[in-house]
Amino acid sequence: MHLHHELMISRFHYMLEQACRKTGGRVQLLGFYQGSALWNTNEVAKVSYDQAGNICELDETEKLPHRPDAFFGLYYPERKGEDRAQYFFYEADRRTTSIKKMHKKLRAHFHYVVKQKLHGEHYGVKRIRAVLIESTEESWTNTLRKSARHPVVSGAKPSPLFWFAPSDAIFEQPVKRKIKGVEKDIPIYLEKPELVFAKIWATPADDDEEVNLQSLID
């Protein structure tokens, strides 16, 4: 399972590099980092639930691990000001984590980025544009997106910080190509890695009927 997880991160890294190359310099990958060097903690208020299921924050605190699978930056030479560079956290989800544990992971991201702005101290950047969550199945990805609306994650208002996209429906769709004279199915990301820049990312703040898909380069 760990190997498949690492391969998923490596594929995303590959797609970013190749997609940037295809832009002819209009988008550049500033760097892609992963591993224990990214590990931090943030202290947040503990929460409890009453009999009706409502959430309340306690006077006690707890430390939540902040361990993104990757951190990367994109640079846009043609832009001006702070928009010339944008930064992202990335999570590769293989449906091995329960919804409850995912809530805690997203809560850690929300407090780390929005509430405490620790990315400035630890990464030296002013803003994290989004936390990208790539999951393996379209139905599960949508379940995660809807579960991110839970008040324990970001309070009463779902946060647009989180962007979700499914691997199977976008990156892994087979296309037929001739390889040494033999027609074979290959995953589309090998031919079109720029799909990672397309409008494929949905947020918890989106309406389920009219999802306003996001792009990494818009």
Summarised one tens digit per residue, pLDDT across range 22-31 is 999 999 999 9
What is the pLDDT at residue 14? 97
pLDDT digits (tens, 9 = 90+) for 191-216: 999 999 999 999 999 888 778 899 99
Instruction: Return the sign of the alpha-carbon dihedral for residues 77, 87, 19, 162.
Output: negative
pLDDT digits (tens, 9 = 90+) for 47-57: 887 776 677 77
CA dist., res. 45 & res. 113, Å (int): 15
What is the pLDDT at residue 13? 97
Task: Give yes or no for a contact between 48 and 59, defined as CB atoms under 8 angstroms apart.
Answer: no
pTM of the entire structure?
0.92
CA dist., res. 106 & res. 152, Å (int): 9
Instruction: With H, G, I as helix, E, B as strand and everything else as coil, classify residue 183.
Output: strand
Tell me the CA distances in angstroms from 64 to 8, 13, 109, 111, 216, one per residue in order. 24, 26, 9, 9, 27
Token pair listed for 181: 């004279």
Highest mean pLDDT among 73-77, 94-98, 146-150: 73-77
